[in-house]
Amino acid sequence: MASPIEILQIAETTLIAEFFQESVGTWSSERRYYTLPDGKTKEVASIITIRFLEAGCDELQKLARMHELNDSTIMTCGAEVSWDSTNAVTKAKESNGSTLFGALGNTLYRDRGFATSKPITAKYHFPSEKTLCLRTEYNGSVFEEELKFIGEKYRTRQSVISRAGEQVMIGQYLEKRI
């Protein structure tokens, strides 16, 4: 008989796979960053493309090796996310790139972080079936994110970045499937 913790882990493994599968496709993202405490804002527009990764695929095996996991086929699923971003006001190029996510238990493994090119991990949970919450910590910063599906065509995201216990930035996103 499975313990309550094992049942929760199985449920979250299923939910993360469903969340990544539902995310597959191309999204138009409009976001605004608020720098705290001065309140300066920055608006960014992006095209985001998401691809689901099956357990055992080459990308997840590579990610497992980056994180020095004993079994390179242990991750249950993942996603590859690529983006191309511009400043929404000036139209200047902001950034482009991609990142890999791989799930194992309640941990998401990534090949890079928001503010680092080094491999990182995030803890995740689902407060509801369509809402994914992440907490990532590295280089003295904490990144707390919530991604929520609104029907089949929209997602919202909110990120709060903190350093030394103080919130320094809030990012709010509206993403529309295209």
Domains of the chain: 4-177 (2.40.128.20)
135: nearest Cα among 161, 96, 154, 105: 161
Q: How many CB atoms lie within 10 A of CB 145?
A: 19
pLDDT tens for each residue of the chain, 178 residues long: 555 555 445 566 789 999 999 999 999 999 999 999 898 999 999 999 999 999 999 999 999 999 999 999 999 999 999 999 999 999 999 999 999 999 999 999 999 988 888 999 999 999 999 999 999 999 999 999 999 999 999 999 999 999 999 999 999 999 999 9
Provide the pLDDT for residue 115. Answer: 80
State pTM to two decimals: 0.89
Buried b (16+ CB within 10 A) or exposed e, 89-121: eeeeeeeeeebbbbbbeeebbbbebeeeeebbb
